[in-house]
Structure formats: structure tokens, C-alpha cells
Structure 1
Amino acid sequence: MIETNLSELLKSHDISINELSEKINIGRKPLTQLANNESKMVKFDTIEKIMNYFQLSSFDQLLTLSISDEYSVSGKVSERELYSDLNSYGVKIYINDANASLSLPIFGNVYIGDKSNIDIELTGYDDIEIDSQTINFIYRVLNKGKYYLEVLARDIALTILDMPEIQKESSKIKTIIFRMPQISEVPEGVYFWNKHDLEQPDFVDFLADKYNLDD
């Protein structure tokens, strides 16, 4: 679902959905769904008209992000470069919500050397900033606790290991260094994993024990 602040905006500006519908020429039904956080998809034109009416300067002033715990991760290799004995892959990772209404991008690089380790850095390319909604999502995960952020990192790492280009070299990989993006004051999440352990079905249970989560 897509969450918005539309209900609060309507109250603070003392305007009804019917009045807003007439002023911005958008049907009452989609506005009601947005106000009640029942929308799975929303047209950019609708968002633009609402923002213009309330004189909002940023999407974040209208849209908040709601991704359930049942997200999925997908990705692809965007480029490959070879530095002497180091293979480097540019990757694009997408975090998809359960309703397929949002797909949040994170860009980064993967390095595979001759020391039996893979270094995954989801820090973005030099000229690409992390999407604001992606930042919002990572904040939300982090606010739930470090365990949840490491589970997300694990899901992303497994997605990268499953990429055909990476799989070709995975037989010699033993350890994984994973770096989540650094966001504002939030410290960069850095994880060191044994590849064999990471791929085990009970690894999430191991993480729960690591963070002393109650059953």
C-alpha cells in the first residue's frame, strides 16, 4: 500500500475531499483511497496536482512509505569491469513491496578478488544519489532494530549471489563483506558473513539469537 499525509493535509487546510476533487479536477474515489491509505498505485499527475494545491516542495511532504515485512528483492548486473586480478560488477538492486506497487532502487558495486571473498558495497555510484523513498524505507527497517536491517542485508546479499554473472565465480567465494548505504547520521551497516552459513535456511534463526530476540 501507499501511505500519504493527505488526511492530515485536508484537516490542516480545512478542506474536504469533495472540495479538493473539484479544485484539482481529480475524481473523489482516488483521493479518498489516498487519504485512507488504501491505494496500491497512484498516477504521477494526481500527486503533482495535490502537491501544487498544497504548495508542497517535496514528495516526502505528501508520501510516506509502507512496505510490509513480506518484501522481495530483485536485481541485475549493470556492468562488469576487470582490474588486474579483481572482477568488479556494477549492480542495481530493487526492494519490492508485497503488492508490487513500489520498487525501490539501490545502486552499488560488487568486487570479487583472489582472496576467496566477495565485497558488496551498496553505497551508490558517485553520480547517483539514493532515492528518497529508499532512504525512508531503510530508516523504517533500522528503527525496528538492527536485526531487521541485517535480515534485509542478508536478503540483498543472497539476491546478488544468485545473479548468473556472480554465480560463475561463487564456487571460490568463502566470505562476504556487505556494506549497506550510509544515510545521514545513520552509520553504515557493515556485515561479515561466512558464505556457507549465510545460505543456510536457519541463518535467520541464528541472527535472532545474535540479537537476543524473544520468541
Structure 2
Amino acid sequence: MPLTEQYGLFFERDLPPRRSLRTAWLLALFLGFTGADRFYLHKPVTGTLKLLTLGGAGIWWLIDLFRITNEFAADGASMPLLGTNSQRRGLRLASIAVAAALVGAVVYVTAAPVTGTITATVTGLNELLNPAPPPPVKELVTVAEASATKPPGPVVTVTGNLHIEYTFTGPAVVYLQPAKGPALTILALVKARAGAIGVTLRPGIYTLIISTTGTLWHLTAAEYRLPR
């Protein structure tokens, strides 16, 4: 004889089947935004609200993960969920892990732009307070100079692009003699003249040779270099 009859307890109908704790929790985890766990527990009204609000923007979804593992959790017919206490403890730990992972993801996503903004701000302030020196600018450097009172000397060019300025009071011929090979004629004048020319040759050391009948003359050779 059933215990209920032994104690004089009689039911007009059989009790509804109990809902599974594990199934309800899994539905809450994977389909909680649709209210599937609430529909499974015969709570259609709150299930519909949960569906329309997408799990209460995630808050309701997270709360239900813990609510289902409560010792007194029940379905819509107030029947307790079918599961052991060890299952409840395990699912509660799993809910804590899910919540921690969610919080970590939110912190990571929101902190990354903030960290980038702070880094950019600090970098900008450092650049403002300690500006980097401007890049060096090439300047015109005299590599040789000769005149009626100053004999020609060696011409040392590192770029091979010389800017020659001259003033002669008579005919003149100007040569650049490399260490090897024939001399290069860079200027030939048949009468007195002043001006400037550009000369392109190989970088190296040259001997400046000037032949002129003028008594007053002057010549400079320069090139654009980075300052030392």
C-alpha cells in the first residue's frame, strides 16, 4: 500500500512530472535570451517577457542561472526541480564561472579603448613637454675657395654635386684633376665674367687648377650636406 494511503492522504489525480534541474539550467544558459527555460518550467508569462526583452538585456538571463540552482527553485506548478544537492552545487559553481567570464569580457572590451586613450594622451603629453629635435636640414658647405691672393687647394666632395660661384676680370679656364684619370674642365671663359654654375661628378678628392690672365678673381665651390 502506498505511503500516502497509509497516512490517509488521497489525491484526486496524479502529481505532474517534475522538471529537471540540469535541463532547466542548460536551457537558461544557451537559450535564456529566448525565455526557453521559463517555458520549460511552465512559466509562459515570464518566458514571453524574457523573450521580448532578450533576457532582460542579459541581466535576467544571468539571474536565472543562479535562481535555478537555488534549493527552493520550483516550476510553475510549485513543484521543486528534480536534482541532487551535488548537482545544485556544481551548477552554481558553473554559474559563477560564466558570470566571471562575462565580467572579464566586458572589462576587457571596455578597458581596451580607455587604455589606448590613456596611452595616447600620455604619449601626446610627453611629445608636447619633450619635443623631438627637428630632422637635420642640408646646408650649403664650402668645400674649396681660391682667389688671386689665395692659391687653389684640394676639393673634397661627398655628394658630387658642386655649386661653383666665380668672378674673373679676364679669360680663365678652371679644371678639377681627380687622383686618377684626365682633368675635368668645368669652366672656360674668353673674357671677364662673373656667375655661377652647377657641376656633377663622382664624389672624391680633386685638385683645383685655375689658369687666368686676370689680376683680380675669386672662386668658391660648395655642396649641400647634412651638418656634422
Q: Please classify the TM superposition score into its range, dividing by the shorter chain length.
A: under 0.3
TM-score normalised by length of structure 2 = 0.24
TM-score normalised by length of structure 1 = 0.25
> Of the two, which has the highest radius of gyration?
2
Q: Which has the higher contact order (CA 8 A, sep 6+)?
A: 2
